[in-house]
Amino acid sequence: MKALVTGFEPFGGEQTNPSYEAAALLPERIDSVELIKAKLPVSFNDSGPALAELIRKYQPDVVICVGQSGGYAAIAVERVAINLRDAAAPDNSGVQPEEQPITADGPDAYFSSLPVKKIVAAMRHSSIPAFISNSAGTFVCNNVMYTLLDLIHRNKLPIRGGFIHVPYSLQQVVSKAPNTPSMELTQMARGLEAAIRALL
């Protein structure tokens, strides 16, 4: 089995993005799963084509896209992506769509095709705080999750795909307000590993 795990470049004034840093900490192989790790741009227009190209190149069986969601202290396993772009701030390309569909002829929403309950249970079993989130927001992460599931659906690809949000890393919050939630990168990586093992 081959799994593509993507993280993002930094955005919103941050120096790092824990989604990519945590993905990069994963080993090359987990049991029978070969892992491919890649970084996506925080861009509404460029992230989808970049992901599509990675899928075309590596032909993975599983795609797990990971993003940062500052404000949580637990890993959020996303259940649903909606056909909406509505950004409160510009992306890294300066694009800030408001109330636009991702694809005009697409369904309103797609459910993750990963076993979200099983993944949350596996993370918790590994002592990593985790929950099911019913909204991936309306920024680039939701856009990537929707684009992934739309690509799989339209092309009838034999891929299980979904999205996971991780908190700020400890490093990111050292100078933030003292009550800002965070998680150690190694814990995030353990959570992602538990997610992959849950797919075996």
- Give contact residues for ligand PCA (rule: CB under 6 A): 8, 11, 17, 19, 42, 67-69, 137, 139-141
Buried b (16+ CB within 10 A) or exposed e, 117-126: eebbebbbeb
Shortest Å, Cβ 85 to ligand PCA: 10
Catalytic site includes residue 141: yes
Number of other residues whose CB lies within 10 A of the CB of residue 177: 6
Integer-rounded Cα Rg, in Å, for the chain is 16
Query: In whole angstroms, how close is the CB of 174 to ligand PCA at the nearest point?
Result: 19
- CB count within 10 Å of CB 153 equals 14
Instruction: Please indicate whether residue 78 is annotated as part of the active site.
Output: yes
* Minimal distance, residue 158 CB to ligand PCA, in Å: 27
Catalytic residue among 9, 21, 53, 78: 78
CA atoms within 13 A on the CB side of 98: 2
Choose the catalytic residue: 141, 153, 184, 193: 141
Which tokens belong to 85? 């772009």
H or E, element range at 50 = helix 44-58
Question: Which helix (DSSP H) or strand (DSSP E) does residue 133 occupy?
Answer: strand 130-133
Handedness of CA 160, 84, 169, 46 (dihedral sign): positive
Q: Which is nearer to ligand PCA, 64 or 140 (CB)?
A: 140
Q: In the annotation, is 34 catalytic?
A: no
Q: Which is nearer to ligand PCA, 168 or 196 (CB)?
A: 168
What backbone torsions phi and psi does residue 106 show, to the nearest 5 degrees? -95, 165
Catalytic residue among 28, 98, 125, 165: 165
Active site residues: 78, 141, 165
